[in-house]
Amino acid sequence: MLIGFYVWNETNYDGFHKNADRIVRVTMEFSSSGTTNSVAVTGTKVGPDFQRHFPEIAAFTRTIKGSRVITADNNVFTEDNVLFADSAFFSMFSFPLLQGDQQTCLNSPEKLVISKELANKYFGTTDVIGKSIKVANNPDMIITGIMGDIPGNSQLHFDMVMPFMNLRAAKQEEQWFTANYVTYLLLKSKENISSLQQQITTYMKDVSAKELFTEESGYLTHHLEPLKSVHLESSLVGLEPNGNKTSVYVMSVIAFLILLIACVNYTNLSVAQSSSRNVEVGIRKVLGAKKKQLVSQFLGESFIITGVGMLVSILFCALLVPWFNKLTGLSVNISILGNSSILLLMVGIVLLVSVIAGLYPALLASGAHLGMVLKSGTRISSAGGMLRKTMIVFQFTVSVVLIATTIIVTEQLRFIRNKDLGYNKNHVVVLPVDKAIKEHYEDFRNAVAAVPGIVNVTGAYETPTFIEWSDGITAENGKEKKNISVNAIPVDFAFIETMGMNLIAGRDFIKSDLLAMDTSDNYKNYQHSFILNEMAVKELGWTPSEAIGKTITKGSNGIVRGVIKNFNFSSLHENIGPLVIFLAPDFTNQLFVKIKSDNAQTSLQNLESLWKQRVAHRPFEYKFLDEEYAQMYISEHRTAGLFGLFAGLAIFLACLGLFALAAFTTVLRTKEIGIRKVLGASIPGIIFLLSKEFLVMVTIAIFIAIPISWYTGSTWLQDFAYRININGWVFISAAAIAIIIAIISVSIQAFKAAVANPVKSLRTE
């Protein structure tokens, strides 16, 4: 049921919106240098231009997230989860609006909508419609709406919504490029998606040829992604990370296998104990019971046990859901069990499990010949031995696969955590740089550098953990002109040094590079300064030393000052691509402060004191760069946690079955054990005798599980460009764990039988 919560949450993403079937996300595909790029963001022109040209579109909204400093009731807050959206946002989507008009709550620049949590935080009440708050970089704004809780399975989460028209980009000329905005369209009918896509493709070919590109190879186009398919189907990351379709499939299979192991246990034990009910079955047959009635009786017992199990599981789920949400990052509620579809599914599972678990024992008991039943009486039979052995092998095969896969996932996460990324992310504090700080940026940066305990200070447009800026550069290599697509990041001085990057040719940026950025005479003499990574140099056809001093063009001309060793500037799921670092202190959005590791707390306190002196308009808030890096792999960490949890559950269930069957086998061989003891057999010898058969079955399971584990682990690792090699010790460890668990389970029963008084066992009838 817990896995079902996870699967239901992932497969029903964004399904709560009334218009979900008619909403699409617009993505952008472009090429200007022979390399195709796809992103989930667009320019500001896409939404309004498409609505003007295509009657199938009923409305659009452009969205982008940001942070703002809020002053409310004389208190100052920093809000990092602010969404900017066009006025149609609340009428397109079904986000819960407790107060306010969805049509008009964002239709003018001074309006905004906040969550009920922010209302209580700012004013101590949710009765705040009409009250004003001050938002940095904006005039006083009026609260026109209060939002309720946003469902957890939404690709959009936010605490405040401000009008898109307040952004500088919205006040400028509409742009096809400068793509920073996630655009959604509301169509008049869901059947329009396919035809509209064809029209957009044709339209953008014309736009590309007439307005955007002079070369034939260059183009810009857009694709439509149905809202409900984005989370699991899209490879492009929008405002929040996407889910993993493979994980959903894997977890569904694990749920099925765990349930099947429980069915196997029930079947095994029912078959083992069926002969002890011979008298009951015989008497019922003598009294005229038909086979159909006996089958119904045994299936009814199975249904009662399964039904009670379901009711008990609901109780446990109610207790475990908060912990499970913490483990998975979900926000599911036990109340979803009230959903009619889920109730029908639960009833269906109870019926299916009852039949799977109870049918074979029912047929076996009801089909026994009356003469044989009455002759055997209450003696326990060893019938069905091959079935029990097969099922033990199956259970431990599943267990070993789950153990081995858990080890592989854990080792990959350890690899991610410890991999040399090409820069040093440790002990780097990240501070925000807003418009007010930028007015005195250089002075503030120097003041931070003078704080005791600070090793180095630099700034950049974004963090090096995930550089999203896409661009293109042009260079001449002999007579050939090379165009390549790159990622780019504008930085301040000392960026390379502060981040511990390896400069393999040339030099870092110096003050004279800033003087070369001459904006006089209409930028006639303006000159960039660039540092390239090895991949960019390679794609341009140079060696690192050859690249130094070369001229490349990125909007305007610039000189290559240095070349750095490749570093991972995006997820380890992706290969390292070409990167351009260019000097542009004015673009700084974040300050990176390298602090001494031996006295980090004191350094942070010193930073906070300076912040309160110099940045009185906003609270002191910071994050560590290594924490942001770890956040990129939160989904993988949750997957590892789930694998570990359910691998443990599968092993536990397998051990229950093994323990019970060991007890059953011991009873069957009671007289044999007694005779062996009388003839001088030792206790260790008897324990080995009883355990040997089970260990053989577990060994067979291990050999079956190894190739399955290797395939499962390899498939999961394929999603990473940088990954571990699966070594033999993984399977040895999994096998050792399974064998140890099996030995403990069997030996307990074997030891009890071995130390029993043989006189009592030989008296047993």
Name the token pair of 67: 């942070």
Q: Do residues 161 and 293 both lie within one domain? A: no
Q: Are residues 262 and 200 in the same domain?
A: no
Domain count, the chain: 3
- Provide the phi-psi class of 423: left if phi over 0, else alpha when psi is between -120 and 50, else beta: beta
Same domain, 80 and 42: yes
- pLDDT value of residue 378: 45
Q: Is residue 665 part of a domain?
A: yes
Cβ–Cβ contacts within 10 Å for residue 448, how many? 20
Phi, psi of 353 (to 5 degrees): -65, -40
- Model confidence at 375, pLDDT cuts 50, 70, 90, reads low
Q: Give a yes or no: residue 1 inside a domain.
A: no
Q: Buried b / exposed e across 317-337, counting CB within 10 Å, b at 16+?
A: beebbeebbebbebebebeee
* Mean pLDDT in residue range 205-225: 85
In a domain, 10, yes or no: no
Same domain, 402 and 433: no
pLDDT at 551: 92
Which tokens belong to 467?
Answer: 């550089």
Residue at a domain's end among 605, 629, 653: 629
| 5 occurs within a structural domain | no
Residue 171: which domain range? 17-233
- Domain final residue pick, 588, 611, 629: 629
User: Do the domain assignments include residue 240?
Assistant: no
Q: What percent of the chain has pLDDT over 70?
A: 92
> Are residues 443 and 298 part of one domain?
no
Q: In whole angstroms, what is the distance from residue 508 CA to residue 502 CA? A: 11
Question: Does residue 183 share a domain with residue 214?
Answer: yes
pLDDT in tens, 328-347: 777 777 888 887 888 888 89
Residue 446 and residue 614 in contact, taking contact as beta carbons nearer than 8 Å: no
**Is the domain of 614 the same as that of 750?**
no
Residue 597 sits in the same domain as residue 696 = no
Q: How many CB atoms lie within 10 A of CB 233?
A: 12
- Judging by beta carbons within 10 Å of its beta carbon (0-12, 13-18, 19+), is residue 340 exposed, middle or buried? exposed
Q: What is the mean pLDDT of residues 641-662?
A: 79
| CA-closest candidate to residue 563, choices 536, 524, 584, 593 | 536
Structural domain ending residue among the three candidates 183, 204, 233: 233
d(CA 608, CA 201): 52
Q: What is the pLDDT of residue 272?
A: 63
Q: What digits encode the pLDDT tens for the residues 219-228?
A: 899 999 999 9
Please report the pLDDT score of residue 668 as a whole number: 67
Residue 484 lies inside a defined structural domain of this protein = yes
The pLDDT value recorded for residue 373 is 53
| Range with lowest mean pLDDT among 180-184, 263-267, 356-360, 370-374 | 370-374
In a domain, 543, yes or no: yes
* Same domain, yes or no: 718 and 741: yes
What does the mean pLDDT of the chain come to? 86
Question: Are 290 and 408 part of one and the same domain?
Answer: yes
Percentage above 90 pLDDT, the chain: 43
- Report the pLDDT value the prediction gives residue 765, as an integer from 0 to 100: 47
What was the pLDDT predicted at 563? 96
Q: What is the pLDDT of residue 582?
A: 95
Residue 346 lies in a domain: yes
Q: Both 469 and 618 in a single domain?
A: yes
Tens of pLDDT, residue by residue over 454-490, are 999 999 999 999 888 888 888 887 777 888 888 899 9
Only one residue has tokens 């569904």, namely 252
The per-residue pLDDT for range 274-317, each reduced to its tens digit, is: 656 666 767 777 777 777 887 888 888 889 999 999 999 999 98
Q: 659-709, pLDDT tens digit by residue?
A: 777 777 776 676 777 777 777 777 788 777 777 888 888 899 999 999 999
Cross-strand bridge partners of residue 39: 28
What confidence score (pLDDT) does residue 492 get?
95
pTM of the complete model: 0.80
Same domain, 444 and 458: yes
Would you state the pLDDT for residue 278? 63
Ranking 56-70, 271-285, 528-542 by mean pLDDT, the lowest is 271-285
